[in-house]
């Protein structure tokens, strides 16, 4: 398959921003501006992909699916290959929902970034049964995440499909706006779903920004390892109590805590340690001795 990036472009208007919603979020409802109907949808597990950024940071991608996403135009493998090799590869578009990163622990107990990407369920079946469609979609997803979140994946790193798991962590809810779309117009499609204004985005759940690991993981713990995603915080400020941790952005006028979590056991605040160097520029790690 051709590797020219031009052949793998998708229209950015078809990549909606997905807000992370509470688990009891109802749907369908109105959008935040009360004018566009939307659904809060939790997709089904599909394929878990492992890769890494150019700086070496490990990244996992949950390719999930839901019938509430629109399906792309139905084409065969031969038709897809012909489109990709034509002078109008952008005429074949895929609607997908890109959720913000959440932190999960990998099999070694280390924190890692995970992105959930949702596509249509029927289209997912085709992707899962065709090496050509799978390779195409994996590449499109990679470029979509790079463009959306302004990072670079290592071009030498393989996109590895994990055979022993379908999802890393817990899939997030997606806010999907519902608008008419015309896949036949390669220039200006009408949107079924569109990227929400960042000003309209809801704050992600506190639990999505923190991972708490007990060490050892059985019996009475000796200490807690806490990993906090601080990618969206300019100046993180940590407030620690014996059974609670709060993280704020001291440079922001917004007084809502970024993280406000009760700890699973009491800790010795005076002995708390911040691990340096960080496991990632976007992750703050703390060691909290248990009382």
CB atoms within 10 A of CB 174: 28
Q: Is the pLDDT of residue 76 over 70?
A: yes
Query: What are the sequence ranges of the domains in the chain?
Result: 8-200, 209-289
3-state secondary structure string, the chain? CCCCHHHHCCCHHHCCEECCCCCCCCCCEECCCCCCEEEEECCEEEEEEEEEECCCCEEEEEEEEECCCCCCCCCCHHHHHHHHCCCCHHHCCCCCEEECCEEEECCCCCEEEEEEEEEEHHHHHHHHHCHHHHHHHHHHHHHHHHHHHCCCECCCCCCEECCCCCCCCCCCCEEEECCCCCCCCCCCCCCCCCCCCHHHCCCCCHHHHEEEEEECCCCCCCEEEEEEECCCCCCEEEEECCCEEEEEECCCCCCCCCEEEECCCCECHHHCEECCCCCECCEEEEEEEEC
Res 39 pLDDT > 90: no
Task: State the number of CA atoms in the 13 A half-sphere of 25 facing the CB.
Answer: 23
Q: Residue 66: is its pLDDT beyond 70?
A: yes
pLDDT of residue 26: 37
> In the structure, what pLDDT confidence band is assigned to residue 252 with cuts at 50, 70 and 90?
confident
CATH 2.60.40.790 fits 209-289, yes or no: yes
pLDDT band at 12 (very low <50, low <70, confident <90, very high): very low
Average pLDDT of the chain to the nearest whole number: 77
Among 99, 81, 101, residue whose Cα is nearest residue 8: 81
194 pLDDT above the threshold of 50: no
The residues with which 288 forms a beta bridge, in sequence order, are 224
Q: What is the pTM of this model?
A: 0.62
Percent of the chain with pLDDT over 70: 76
Q: What would the pLDDT profile of 217-249 be if each residue is shown by its tens digit? A: 778 888 998 888 887 787 888 899 888 999 888
**pLDDT (tens digit per residue) in 83-137:** 887 777 667 888 888 988 888 888 888 889 999 999 999 999 999 999 899 988 9
Q: Residue 36: which pLDDT band, with cuts at 50, 70 and 90?
A: low
pLDDT for the residue 260: 87
Total residues belonging to the chain: 291
Of the ranges 90-99, 107-116, 198-207, 262-271, which one carries the lowest mean pLDDT score? 198-207
Assigned token pair, 173? 């809810």
Q: How confident is the model at residue 196 (pLDDT cuts 50, 70, 90)?
A: very low
């Amino acid at each position: 398959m051709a590797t020219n990036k031009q052949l793998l472009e998708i229209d950015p208007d078809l990549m909606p921003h997905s807000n992370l919603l509470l688990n009891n979020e109802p749907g369908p409802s109105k959008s935040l501006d009360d004018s566009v109907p939307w659904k809060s949808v939790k997709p089904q597990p599909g394929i878990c992909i492992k890769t890494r950024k150019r700086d070496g940071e490990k990244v996992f991608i949950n390719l999930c699916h839901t019938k509430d996403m629109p399906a792309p135009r139905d084409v065969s493998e031969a038709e897809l290959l012909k489109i990709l090799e034509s002078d109008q590869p952008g005429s074949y578009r895929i609607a997908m929902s890109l959720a913000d990163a959440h932190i999960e622990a990998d099999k070694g107990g280390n924190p890692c970034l995970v992105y959930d990407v949702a596509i249509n369920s029927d289209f997912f079946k085709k992707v899962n049964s065709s090496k050509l469609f799978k390779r195409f979609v994996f590449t499109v997803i990679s470029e979509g995440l790079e463009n959306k979140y302004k990072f670079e994946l290592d071009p030498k790193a393989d996109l590895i499909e994990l055979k022993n798991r379908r999802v890393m962590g817990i899939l997030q809810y997606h806010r999907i706006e519902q608008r008419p779309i015309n896949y036949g117009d390669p220039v200006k499609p009408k949107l079924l779903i569109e990227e929400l204004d960042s000003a309209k985005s809801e704050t992600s759940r506190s639990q999505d920004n923190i991972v708490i690991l007990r060490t050892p993981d059985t019996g009475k713990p000796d200490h807690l390892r806490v990993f906090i995603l601080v990618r969206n915080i300019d100046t993180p400020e940590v407030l620690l109590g014996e059974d609670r941790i709060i993280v704020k952005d001291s440079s922001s006028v917004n007084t809502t805590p970024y993280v406000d979590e009760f700890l699973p056991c009491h800790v010795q605040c005076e002995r708390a340690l911040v691990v340096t160097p960080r496991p990632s520029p976007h992750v703050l790690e703390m060691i909290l001795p248990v009382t």
